[in-house]
Amino acid sequence: MYCFMCKVGLKSLIQICERKVIAVQDVFDISQFDEYREDNRREVKKANGGLPVSLWDTYSAFANCYGGVIILGVKEEKDGSWRTTGLQNEAKLRKDFWDTINNPKKVNINLLSDEDVKTYVVGENKDVVMVIYVPMAKREQKPVYINNDIFNGTFRRNYEGDYHCTRLQVKTMLRDQTERTMDMEVLDKVPMEDLNYETIHGYRNSHRTLKEGHPFERLNDHEYLRSIGAAAISEEDGQLHPTAAGMLMFGNEYNIVRHFPEYFLDYREELDSTIRWTDRLHSSSGEWSGNVCDFYFRVYNKLIKDIKIPFKMVGGERVDDTPVHKALREALANCLINADYHGVRGVVIRKEPDKIIFANPGYVRTGKKQMRLGGESDPRNKSLMKMFNLINIGERAGSGVPNIFNVWEDEGFIEPEIEERFDPDRTVLSLPFVKKATEKSDGKKTTEKSDRKKVTKKTQEQYEKILAFMKPDIWYKANELVEVLGVKETRTKELLRALVSDEKLEDNGATKGKRYKKR
């Protein structure tokens, strides 16, 4: 189908393309078109000699990440701008495309319909371009791979382009295909005695206190563990054995690592820059059980020890729980529930002077944007989620992360940040305890440090240097301002973030390749 736009430029073409993508995938924001060029959610290819071989790498990469748009008949110039080159034989190119994408020896799955491939005639030269909208594959469709080779033909997208997935990443996608999550596996060779019953009894006490009279209360330990998903009858010998979730939640670290060799839980307090850490707790120390349940309670108590509790009475009793406490419980549980315990680097919680960072192995199964919006729950470990829910920790409705953002907004803190990293897969949630800048009575604004004191004279001079250097309507990267300020890039980013909070600058919303400009 042709759309003849004799007087329409390339940017108008992209606006039309973007409206389609927003309607179908809700991926792009056309108002940020110029800033999105470098985040690789779109790809342009000349296609002068037919379908580019690299097209299929990009198809796989987009499908295995968040989707994207491929435009054939366009060249990217050195400065990042796009120039149309046109297509010599659009009809043949289109036929070749559909023949190839429907060939299972080339592409294992076709995610596209006729509506996802459009042809346009652009500009005064009437250059023909083809626009291909690639959706994000569903969890059960991944990995999307090419050349009938799942381990060498699976790609993902990063900020440098398409890259081959590792065997570990492919295996993670295969594990995530099924409705039965990894933690439901029955460990047929493991006796029930391998679990830590001190942890189990502590958990049962919490459950009993929170839900007095619950039907599970009268069960013996083995029946109780079976009821909550921590144990199951093996099809192999007909006996009761721990599940993977039971081992993770209630096992001892030295037993857990036999089934999850990469298992590692780590909490670090980095409150003093002069020493490596002021407090540390990790699962392999041998000083405690090292399981998920004990880690949760030990770490939560460390996280909240500096949280101020306002005086509040309900029914004649003081309430020592605040929305911030609840948000921290949700963040910690979410990190543990969605961790890929076969993934590398383990779970790491870092408490810094002005923020807490929760990092777990594994990509976001619903996608980062859906995680932020909520309403769709797809935990990586459903049995672990059930166990946390039974003691009133965690949300089943997919509303946990949005609630955290709402609490931070209500408290006046800078908005939390979700970062998804690949190779290796990792999800990072940062919760800053830095107040947004507020207006003074005279109408001027002030920027606050993490300790909420006014900025120093030196910092104010650095702010002024940034604002004086930046020209209106031009986007800058942090590294472009390093020489201007004469400080390290990390310090430059801190200054830029503060100016964004102060509404003197705005950023493009990207996690990597972030840019800033004057408001």
- Give pLDDT, residue 80: 73
Q: Where are the domains of the chain?
A: 4-166, 182-432, 457-518
386: closest CA among 190, 216, 201? 216
CB 505 within 8 A of CB 517: yes
- Give pLDDT, residue 512: 67
Q: Which two tokens stand for residue 411?
A: 């408290």
Q: Which residue has the higher pLDDT, 181 or 255?
A: 255
381: closest CA among 223, 202, 221, 248? 248
Give the pLDDT band (50/70/90) at residue 48: confident
Write phi, then psi, for 258 (nearest 5 degrees): -70, -30
Is the pLDDT at 39 greater than 70? The verdict is no
Is the pLDDT at 22 greater than 60? The verdict is no
- Give pLDDT, residue 16: 45
Q: Which residue has the higher pLDDT, 465 or 383?
A: 383
Least confident residue range of 30-44, 141-155, 254-268, 370-384: 30-44
pLDDT tens-place string over residues 475-519: 888 888 888 888 888 888 888 888 888 778 888 776 667 888 887
CB 327 within 8 A of CB 407: yes
pLDDT tens-place string over residues 249-278: 999 999 999 999 999 999 999 888 778 888
Is the pLDDT at 36 greater than 80? The verdict is no
CB 231 within 8 A of CB 243: yes
Give the pLDDT band (50/70/90) at residue 23: very low
Is the pLDDT at 336 greater than 80? The verdict is yes
Rounded mean pLDDT, 4-25: 44
- CATH topology of 4-166 equal to that of 457-518? no
- Give pLDDT, residue 10: 54
Give the pLDDT band (50/70/90) at residue 449: very low
CB 264 within 8 A of CB 283: yes
Is the pLDDT at 219 greater than 90? The verdict is yes
Give the pLDDT band (50/70/90) at residue 284: very high
Amino acid identity for residue 209 in this structure: T
- Give pLDDT, residue 448: 42
CA distance 17 to 133: 9
Q: Which two tokens stand for residue 444?
A: 């001027």
Rounded mean pLDDT, 407-422: 91
Residues 471/473/476/480 CA torsion (nearest 10 deg): -20
- Give pLDDT, residue 374: 77
Q: Which residue has the higher pLDDT, 396 or 344?
A: 344
Average pLDDT, the chain: 84
Is the pLDDT at 3 greater than 50? The verdict is no
Class of 4-166 per CATH?
Answer: alpha beta
Give the pLDDT band (50/70/90) at residue 5: very low
Is the pLDDT at 454 greater than 50? The verdict is yes
Is the pLDDT at 452 greater than 80? The verdict is no
Helix, strand, or coil (residue 502): coil
Question: How far, in Å, are 243, 271, 272 from residue 276 at the CA level?
Answer: 37, 9, 8
Q: What is the share, in percent, of the chain residues with pLDDT greater than 90?
A: 49
203: closest CA among 388, 43, 343? 388
Least confident residue range of 119-128, 203-212, 345-354: 119-128
CA distance 26 to 462: 38
Q: Which residue has the higher pLDDT, 446 or 235?
A: 235
Fold of 457-518: Arc Repressor Mutant, subunit A (1.10.10)
Helix, strand, or coil (residue 253): helix
Pairing mode, strands 42-45 and 68-72: parallel
Q: Which residue has the higher pLDDT, 471 or 10?
A: 471
Distance of CA 335 to the CA centre of its chain: 11
Is the pLDDT at 30 greater than 50? The verdict is no
Residues in the chain: 519
Least confident residue range of 72-76, 123-127, 221-225, 295-299: 123-127
- Give pLDDT, residue 484: 84
330: closest CA among 293, 360, 358, 295? 358
- Give pLDDT, residue 310: 66
- Give pLDDT, residue 311: 59
* Residue indicated by tokens 């419980």: 329
Helix, strand, or coil (residue 458): helix
Helix, strand, or coil (residue 272): coil
Task: Provide the sign of the torsion angle of the four alpha carbons 189, 383, 362, 280, taken in this order.
Answer: negative
Is the pLDDT at 445 greater than 80? The verdict is no
Rounded mean pLDDT, 411-416: 93
Domain 182-432 has CATH 3.90.320.10: no
Least confident residue range of 140-149, 183-192, 337-346, 416-425: 416-425
- Give pLDDT, residue 472: 80
Is the pLDDT at 384 greater than 70? The verdict is yes
Give the pLDDT band (50/70/90) at residue 123: low
- Give pLDDT, residue 34: 37
Is the pLDDT at 20 greater than 70? The verdict is no
CA distance 230 to 251: 10
Give the pLDDT band (50/70/90) at residue 160: low
CB 277 within 8 A of CB 269: yes
Bond prior to 402 in cis (omega within 30° of 0) = no
Is the pLDDT at 399 greater than 50? The verdict is yes
Pairing mode, strands 4-5 and 117-122: parallel
Helix, strand, or coil (residue 398): coil
